[in-house]
Amino acid sequence: MNNDLCSISLVFWQHIQPFDFWLLTHINQDWGSSFLDTVLPYLRETLFWVPLYLFLILFVTINFGVRGWWWILGFILVVVCSDMISSQLIKKNVMRMRPCRDISVAQHIRFFVNYCPQSSSFTSSHATSHFAQAMFIFLTLRHIIGKWSWLFFVWAFLIAYTQVYVAVHYPFDVICGSLLGCGIGFAVTKLFHKQIGMLSLVK
Query: What's the mean pLDDT in 106-121?
Result: 87
pLDDT band of residue 111 (cuts 50, 70, 90) is confident
CA distance 57 to 54: 5
In 3D space, the residue among 93, 90, 96 whose CA is nearest the CA of residue 10 turns out to be 96
Q: What confidence tens digit (pLDDT) does each residue in 128-179 have?
A: 999 999 999 999 999 999 999 999 999 999 999 999 999 999 999 999 999 9
Residue 3 has a pLDDT of 60
Instruction: Return the pLDDT at 160.
Output: 97
Is the separation of the CB atoms in 122 and 96 below 8 Å? Answer: yes
Domain range list for the chain = 47-107+116-203
Q: How far apart are CA 92 and CA 193, in angstroms?
A: 32
- Does residue 122 surpass a pLDDT of 90? yes
Going by C-alpha positions, the residue among 32, 11, 20 that lies closest to residue 122 is 20
Q: How far apart are CA 104 and CA 18, in angstroms?
A: 13
Residue 4 — very low, low, confident or very high, per pLDDT cuts 50/70/90?
low
* Mean pLDDT score, 9-20: 86
Residue 7: predicted pLDDT = 67
Average pLDDT rounded to a whole number, residues 19-46: 93
pLDDT-based confidence at residue 197 (cuts at 50, 70, 90): very high
The amino acid sitting at 107 is: Q
For range 31-60, the mean pLDDT:
94
Stretch 26-52: mean pLDDT: 93
**Better-scored residue on pLDDT, 180 or 1:** 180
pLDDT given for residue 6 in this prediction: 62
Task: Decide if pLDDT at 112 tops 90.
Answer: no
Whether pLDDT at 2 is above 60: no
Q: What are the backbone dihedrals phi and psi of residue 102, each rounded to the nearest 5 degrees, phi first?
A: -90, 110
Give the pLDDT band (50/70/90) at residue 203: low
- DSSP H or E segment with residue 49: none
